[in-house]
A and B are shown apart, each in its own frame.
Chain A
């Protein structure tokens, strides 16, 4: 089991939500004070480095035109962390390659960070949430097709060492690809892909990459992991899928007493509560399949956004499996319930800072998790554990 401290480097100093229609895409950047922003960057980097000192790995991601995550060029933050950190793995999850015009450039950025960090990069790739479409001016139709062509090309950039090669694909065209530097890790850095669809998970499983899913609770996570394992097996990789191929991101806050844990958890909900986005940004045409749009029009829940749902409360989020919060014992029990239900995973992506959770409380949560919960998880769930077997099923099998 590996745990990762994930910060979205949010900018929380906003006017009342009722004064703007969307926290993403259209919120004017005059609201952003660069001097306050600089202090926030300093602080968030410090928190990543404290997590590293506590034995936790480092994770970051990328969003655009939003106060929720002021990291629109995540490879730059990754480069800074590559020099400031010493031992932690560095996971970017991820590069929104369906929205990037040059996959070869992404391959170069990642190779450079791998060298800068002496081989500590975990390279993640995401399709990107729907609100990224407009900032990138990216066509929302056929994103999956672009994503996979780009990812396959990036892997080839990393693994081809004999001078220029060409690529004339459906979406990307290059005559002479020959990246310098090449990555340190052989054959290439570990690859992660996030998805919320079963079709996507089967493809990720077929390639054996690490599958991550964010805030998908009990049933959706279970379906995604099952699809991943099926994809893995159908590709003939082997029968057993180790848990270190699967990752889950949750809002997590551990306090030394219930009151403090509760207060921290309330502040973490900023992620959900502040994510005010109108439908024309959260569901552009083509982002979800036609059949899903029909279901949404009939009132189905959009898994992409929890804004305004019961997951906007601590109890609702814990019940939904999107948050683990409380004392160490409580968090361990909540985690275990989720872990058993979905079939097990080997990476816990900890959304452990949000909005107005200040530095001291963030560090308290990191340390309490690292010292009081993490050792139990590592002992119980080594990365070689086979996923898809709950404790109950294993007991029945003798």
Chain B
């Protein structure tokens, strides 16, 4: 992976790339979850194999800056559309996780012609259920142990002791968390307008969910997928909200199969 940066709309965007000389029309844009880019690195580069890979850290995540005007997922979607322009990527495939999936959905609703195929892994971003129940559990209003149970199939195996991280890495964890809160706080984890725009998305879209995901329910995933004209869903067995961590091989197989057809 190559680490570079690019300035877009005043944001110093951290950019991780691979196979930069690869064909532009075969590029994968990789959009990370609210945890930030780091946990994804090996997965994304393996997934890309020989293809060109572009993986930005979202504004306020990793080493990307966060200007004072920026406070929504919609803002980031515009910045990333400009990123495609700047990198001269006429069209790309997108693989995106959780809040990254929300960014991807916003982008595809604005500029459907820029996307060949979309893979949305446990995406958030729409409101599909009744007003009196949160579609996505309130992850900022529960103990960490409860969050871990929702996020992982096997929390005992997956969770790490944060206090053992060096200061810089720990600071990144807290900064990512703060930036996530800024972006998703209200309305909680969704843009009320998005579901009225998704019918524009023409690209074949794969919605993926771990069968033990406590954050994104199966009903939510199915309802989300129905908003797009050309979407289907797949379940990854024995995984939670972050199947790339718990079942990387199964997930890679499912994504590769979809992108190659």
Tell me the A residues contacting B by CB distance below 8 Å. Answer: 25, 134, 137, 139-142, 145, 170, 278-281, 284-286, 290-291, 293-294, 297-298
Q: What 0/1 pattern do residues 155 to 182 of B give for CB contact below 8 A with A?
A: 0000000110001001100110111111
**B68→A145 contact, CB < 8 A:** yes
CA distance A159 to B174 in the complex (A): 41
* Closest 5 A/B residue pairs (Cβ): A141-B182, A285-B181, A286-B178, A293-B174, A139-B185
Q: Which residue of B lies closest to A295 (CB)?
A: B167
Q: Residues of B contacting A298 with CB < 8 Å?
A: 163
CA distance A36 to B140 in the complex (A): 33
Say yes or no: A294-B178 contact (C-beta < 8 A), given A134-B141, A170-B68. Answer: no
The reply to whether B140 and A284 contact each other, CB–CB distance below 8 Å, is yes
A281 contacts across to B, CB distance below 8 A? 141
Closest to A279 in B: B143
Question: Per-residue CB proximity of B170-205 to A under 8 Å, as 1/0?
Answer: 110011011111100110000000000000000000
- Within 8 Å by CB of A280, from B143, B167, B178, B180, lies B143
B142 touching A280 by the CB < 8 A rule?
A: yes
A-B contact count (CB 8 A): 56
What mask results when residues 138 to 156 of chain B are scored 1 for a CB within 8 Å of chain A, else 0? Answer: 0011111000000000000
Determine the residue in chain B with the shortest Cβ distance to A139: B185
A281 to B182 Cα, complex, angstroms = 16
Establish whether residues B140 and A291, one from each chain, have CB atoms under 8 Å apart when the complex forms. no
Known: A137-B186, A298-B163. A284 touches B174 (CB 8 A): no
Q: Are B143 and A140 neighbours in the complex by a CB distance under 8 Å?
A: no
Chain A residues whose C-beta falls within 8 Å of the C-beta of B179 in the assembled complex: 141
Q: Are B182 and A280 in contact (CB-based, < 8 A)? A: no
Q: In angstroms, how far is the closest chain A Cβ from the Cβ of B99?
A: 14
Question: Contacts of B175 on A, CB cut-off 8 Å?
Answer: 290
Residues on the B chain within 8 Å of A142, using CB: 68, 71, 182
8 sample A-B contacts, Cβ–Cβ < 8 Å, listed by A number:
A137-B185, A139-B186, A141-B178, A141-B185, A280-B140, A280-B142, A285-B181, A298-B163
Report whether B171 and A294 are in contact in the complex, using a CB–CB cutoff of 8 Å.
yes
**A residues within 8 A CB of B71?**
142
Known: A297-B162, A298-B163. A141 touches B181 (CB 8 A): yes
B170 adjacent to A139 (CB under 8 Å): no
**Complex Cα gap A280–B144 (Å):** 8
Contacts A134-B141, A281-B141 given; does A286 touch B163 at CB 8 Å: no
Could you say which residues of chain A place their CB within 8 Å of the CB of B163? 297-298
Bound Cα distance A134, B138 (Å):
10
Taking the closest CB of chain A, its distance from the CB of B199, in whole angstroms, is 30
